[in-house]
Amino acid sequence: MPTVLGIIVAGGSSQRAGQDKLKVVLPTGRTVLEESLSKMSSCDLIDDIAVVTRAEKMEYVNTLREKYPKLRYIAPGGYTRFGSVTNGIAASPEHDYICIHDAARPFVSTDLIRAVIEKGFEYGAAAPCVPVRDTIKITEGEFMQSTPDRNTLRAVQTPQVFRTDDYMTALALSDDAFDDCQVMERAGYRVFCVSGEETNIKITTAEDIRRLREKDMRVGHGYDVHRLAEGRKLILCGVDIPFEKGLLGHSDADVAVHALMDAILGAAGLPDIGHLFPDNDPEYDGADSCVLLGRVMALVREKGYELGNADVTIVCQKPKISPYIEAMRTKLAEVCGCAAGRVNVKATTEEKLGFTGSGEGIAAHAVVLMA
């Protein structure tokens, strides 16, 4: 069986993505880079893996060695893609074939990697390709010049597999190509087109990253109850409501905001407000719950989540809540930093049943979607 070196190219500067796209965490809990490494690692035809990356990412890549023992070589990125690939080849003992994969294509399947390597063994060079959907134009300045036959066009993905000696020979003839396949074409090698996968996208722009996040939608639920007592202000969703009683609690006892905070924290997989703002801490004595909600939003933003929408239900016999609903929505949206239409507040009674029905207390439920 020929030997294969997997080369993961992680040398880009992520300029078009506006952030380090390779470190974005996917729903699997692995970063984009780790996900690509895990797919390559699972392919039985790959013997060793070299990751080619920038100096500032080497330490991170090094931490992945333990989990992925095939990752034996870490090499510095070159000035060009071809420089990076050659550094990867140079860092490891000679293998019969190289299997070059973009770190920014984490959704590749191990089946596809295997299929490309098998065709590489058969033809010396192979890469996955998909038909193009848009009609492609050759342009000159700002005008269209001609239209190639779409049926002959293919978009090329990675992994791309080449016989190592052939690749090095070809590279000596041309190092200014658009991709590794073009290097081979120019030197007269024929690259076999394996049927690629539509899902094997390359994460390139900030918009691509936003879409990744959208995939990771999280639902959260929160519930809270506070007792009604005399001599307290009644504050619900940050709005002062004139009433003969108010809710009892360590903070301003805004039961609806408490339910909302627990829903948001729950969605993000964080501990509840009892942990974050303990009621034996004097800092939270009489605290404005909307200020705490602002802190909760800052925490979940750090984890990369924004509020998709929230639905808050206040369970209360008296007073009548409906006149305050609009003010409540506006206030919550302002604190959460989203459009008012994304926050809904409604109220219901429990037909004089139970503790809310008898006026002993007020309860609130909240459901949120974080994305």
Residues in contact with Mg ion by CB under 5 A are: 224, 258
The CB-of-226 to Mg ion minimum distance in angstroms stands at 6
Taken in order 150, 151, 152, 156, the sign of the CA dihedral is positive
In the three-class reduction of DSSP (H, G, I as helix; E, B as strand; rest coil), residue 236 is classed as strand
Q: Quote the least distance from Cβ 363 to Mg ion, whole Å.
A: 10
Task: Return the number of other C-beta atoms located less than 10 Å from residue 141's C-beta.
Answer: 5
Q: Would you say 105 or 258 has its CB closer to Mg ion? A: 258
C-alpha closest to that of 117 among 134, 102, 141, 100: 100
Give me the least distance between CB of 332 and Mg ion, in Å please: 16
Whichever of 258 and 365 has its CB closer to Mg ion, that residue is: 258
* Nearest-approach distance from CB 224 to Mg ion, in angstroms: 4
Instruction: Give whichever of 213 and 232 is closer to Mg ion, judged by the CB atom.
Output: 232
Q: C-beta of 279: minimal distance to Mg ion in Å?
A: 8
Nearer to Mg ion, 294 or 304 (CB): 294
Smallest distance, Mg ion to C-beta of residue 231, A: 19
**3-state class (DSSP) for residue 182:** helix
Q: Which residue is closest to Mg ion by CB?
A: 258
C-alpha 10/C-alpha 104 separation (Å) is 7
Smallest gap from Cβ 327 to Mg ion, in A, equals: 21
Nearer to Mg ion, 119 or 258 (CB): 258
On whether the CB atoms of residues 322 and 290 are closer than 8 A, the answer is no
* Integer CA distances (angstroms), 364 to 65, 231, 357, in order: 48, 21, 13
CB-based contact 118:182 (threshold 8 Å)? no
Closest C-alpha among 81, 77, 92 to residue 6? 92
Tokens of 33: 């880079």
HSE toward the beta carbon, residue 245, CA cutoff 13 A: 16
How far apart (Å, rounded) are the C-alpha atoms in residues 290 and 296?
A: 10
